[in-house]
Amino acid sequence: MSTLFEIVNPSYLLFPALVGTMIMGLVCPLIGSFLVLRRTVFLGLTLPEIAAAGVAFTFWMQQAGLLPQMGQSERGVAMVGSLVFTFLGMGLLGYLEQRGKGLAEGRLAAAYAFAGALTILFMVFNPAGQIEVLNLLKGEVIALSKAELRLLVAVFGMVLVSMLLFRREFLLTSFDRDLAFLLKGRQVVWDILLYLLAGLIIAFGVIMAGPLLIFGFLVLPALAAKPLVSRMSSFLVVSSALGLVMAFLGFYSSVRLDLPLGPTDVTLGCCLIFLAYGLSRISKRMRPALLALICLALSLSACSVKTAAPPVPEAKAIHAEQLWLAKVKNSTALPLFLPVNNPLRSLAEMAGKISPDDYRQSVMDLLRQNLQTELGQKGFQISLPEDKDARFPAFPADSAGATRMAREGKLSGMVFVTEIWRWEGETQKFVRALVDFKLVRIDDGAIVWERRVQRAIPTPSATNLGEASADAVKAILHDLFAG
């Protein structure tokens, strides 16, 4: 899954997210280059925060009944608030700039702090929608759908065409405003158009990718390109090229290492800045050779093929007569309860007649039940430790600890242990999991078989978090038993 050829295959499930990320990486640096030239880099930080405040405000108004239910998806509603607040904020900042009120950096710093405070307050006022707002502001671009990708292509494509058509006017007014005034007079229209295009990609980008990633795409490629070029046209081209590199390598690293996409991209962008300043201090003759070595190293890393992990062995292959299937240990610090579909039970919980923890199935129960079925099909004779002694807790994945607990409980044969370290199903489109599985011989504590599953598992057909967890469990067990 994590090889280069699988990621660039159009049939790959996360391919829309790759395309969307690269579109942002291509277009955002064009806008960011002009922000760098105008010395208004903090505008790229302030506007995403203002857009985030608009998202939180819209959900609060809708939850309070002051806005009608528009029948749109969560992202559709969030886009309305993001657009409105972004353009209102830009209008206010532009008005203050024209009036010359205060320092530009001071206005942007105050606006950033104010927008951040409003975002937190709006979420506090709307506790029922905090999770939805936080998920939207995190910007899980890896969950980008094909419909959202088409919208992204339309909006960012229009911005790209506008930037190419009016690049001369934008360059003149950004690079030397005094010369632009002498040649063509006061060019307020180009300032307005540039900020409108910036507001458009920020308003949509915050919903698609989150404030952090949009700010990174706006500023970091342009800062990395600055020490490498001496001409304005080259500055724009290199900025977009570095944005594409940042987007692709960030996506590849995120999928391969199971890391969140936004922080991975931003970290890579900062590394590009350090690399660019390092290259700028090397002679021009040595730069091509150094770049060739870097590209070769990245290519070898990207094209490397991971050895397929062995599946769970057959019972006859390891001469197992008795297998104890231990309870799944939860080490996530989260309850991992599955949602309840019975509305009467929910009412009883609210009335305090039953405990929320009573008779609630969890991810651990679901995983163990499926493991029992699959192991039985492998020919194992399955027994549960609590059938012998109800006091048996969940076994850790540490072989020494599992062996010690089994011996203290007077078990013999083998024990299958499972420990969940991470299980995050914040959206219905994928689940991030980190689970350890081990098959341990009790007599000598030897590990007969082991496997660690660590990846984001797509669950596109799930309609709720319970179905997403069930689909993720099935995908994990398919990997375990099919190899």
User: What is the reported pLDDT for 109?
Assistant: 84
For residues 225-236, give the mean pLDDT: 85
**pLDDT at position 72 over 70:** no
Q: Quick count: other Cβ atoms within 10 Å of Cβ 209?
A: 28
**pLDDT at position 324 over 90:** yes
Strands 430-441 and 414-424, by their bridges, are antiparallel
Residue 230 DSSP label? S
The residue ranges of DSSP E strands in 289-392, in sequence order, are 323-325, 329-330, 382-383
**pLDDT at position 185 over 60:** no
> pTM score > 0.75 for this model?
no
Q: Is 102 helix (H, G, I), strand (E, B) or coil?
A: coil
**pLDDT at position 52 over 90:** no
**pLDDT at position 162 over 70:** yes
17 phi and psi angles, rounded to 5 deg: -65, -40
In 176-231, which ranges are continuous DSSP H helix?
177-184, 188-209, 211-225
User: What is the reported pLDDT for 349?
Assistant: 47
- For residue range 95-119, list pLDDT tens digits in order: 777 666 667 777 888 888 898 898 8
Give the distance, in angstroms, between the CA of residue 163 and the centroid of all CA atoms in the same chain.
28
Looking at mean pLDDT, say which of 40-49, 298-307, 385-394 comes out highest.
Answer: 385-394
382 burial level (CB within 10 Å; 0-12, 13-18, 19+): middle
- For residue range 266-279, list pLDDT tens digits in order: 999 999 898 888 88
Confidence at 420, pLDDT banded by 50, 70, 90: very high
Q: What percent of the chain has pLDDT over 70?
A: 79
Q: Which domains does the chain have, with CATH numbers?
A: 4-303 (1.10.3470.10), 316-482 (3.40.50)
User: What is the reported pLDDT for 347?
Assistant: 43
User: What is the reported pLDDT for 2?
Assistant: 47
Residue 360 DSSP label? -
**DSSP secondary structure of 25-89:** HHHHHHHHHHHHHTT-TTHHHHHHHHHHHHHHHHHHHHHTTSS------HHHHHHHHHHHHHHHH
The chain-wide mean pLDDT, for the chain, equals 80
Sequence letter at residue 363: V
- For residue range 17-27, list pLDDT tens digits in order: 889 999 999 99
6 phi and psi angles, rounded to 5 deg: -70, -40
**pLDDT at position 351 over 70:** no
**DSSP secondary structure of 334-347:** S--BPPP--HHHHH
User: What is the reported pLDDT for 346?
Assistant: 45
**pLDDT at position 252 over 60:** yes
Residues ≥6 apart with Cβ < 8 Å to 465: 338, 339, 425, 428
Q: Are 47 and 202 in contact (CB under 8 A)?
A: yes
Sequence letter at residue 341: N
**pLDDT at position 402 over 50:** yes
Token readout for 383 is 């027994």
Closest CA to 74 of 143, 18, 157: 143
- For residue range 277-291, list pLDDT tens digits in order: 888 777 667 766 666
Closest CA to 49 of 92, 86, 98: 86
Q: Which H or E element spans position 482?
A: helix 465-482
User: What is the reported pLDDT for 101?
Assistant: 60
Confidence at 367, pLDDT banded by 50, 70, 90: very high
User: What is the reported pLDDT for 342?
Assistant: 47
Distance of alpha carbon 388 from alpha carbon 403, whole angstroms: 16
For residues 35-55, give the mean pLDDT: 82
Closest CA to 375 of 415, 420, 329, 403: 415
- For residue range 465-475, list pLDDT tens digits in order: 788 888 899 99
Count of alpha carbons within 13 Å of 315, Cβ hemisphere only?
18
